[in-house]
Amino acid sequence: MQSADQVGQVKCGSCAVLLMYPYGASSVRCSSCQFVTEIGEHNKRPPWSVQQGHPPPPANAVHEIAYVRRA
């Protein structure tokens, strides 16, 4: 499962403005020219968090919490 703060990047198919979109979206509308760019395999970018050096946790990651009992 992807975190809500992860975004992808793609250039607008009409005016080439760099667009950001929620990672996993199928398309994004350019705020400059209103062109709708499809997000296909050929133009996907890694999530912003990966580009910043913070890879997402594996989809099947199990989080364990350790409780310490204090005397």
Which contacts qualify for 1-4: CB closer than 8 Å, 24 or more apart? 1/59, 2/47, 2/56, 3/49, 3/56
Which range marks the domain in which residue 38 is found?
1-70
Asked whether the predicted pLDDT for residue 4 surpasses 70, the reply is no
**Which of 33, 32, 42 shows the shortest CA–CA distance to 10?**
42
Query: Per-residue pLDDT tens for 22-62?
Result: 877 889 999 999 999 998 765 555 666 676 776 656 655 55
As for how many domains the chain has, the answer is 1
**Which of 34, 35, 36, 39 shows the shortest CA–CA distance to 22?**
39
For residue 11, the one-letter residue type is K
pTM above 0.75, yes or no: no
